[in-house]
Amino acid sequence: MVGGGAKSGTWRQIMSDVTNKPVRAPHMQETGALGAATLAGVGAGIFKDFIAAQSEMYASSSPADNTRHVYSMLYEKYK
């Protein structure tokens, strides 16, 4: 997730619950620069690989069972 909504932990959690998927967002706003820094860090050996680089540069949210159920029920009513 990138952009303004990605800054909000609450919004990331809602997106994760609604989609029932893990959601990750970079810790910084300049995602183009983040991509370049990630490539440089892996190339220079600062990070072992892209997975290791991502674990330090992204905030994560995973679906929460209690709220995911509520969103699923509300979606069924919406349909």
Q: How do residues 22-65 score in pLDDT, each as one tens digit? A: 988 887 777 788 888 889 999 999 999 988 888 777 777 888 88
Distance CA 22, CA 12 (A): 9
pLDDT at 43: 95
Cα angle 62, 64, 65; round to 5: 135
Query: Model's pTM, two decimal places?
Result: 0.54
Q: CA 38, 41, 45, 47: dihedral to nearest 10 degrees? A: -50
The pLDDT of residue 60:
78
Residue 52 pLDDT: 87
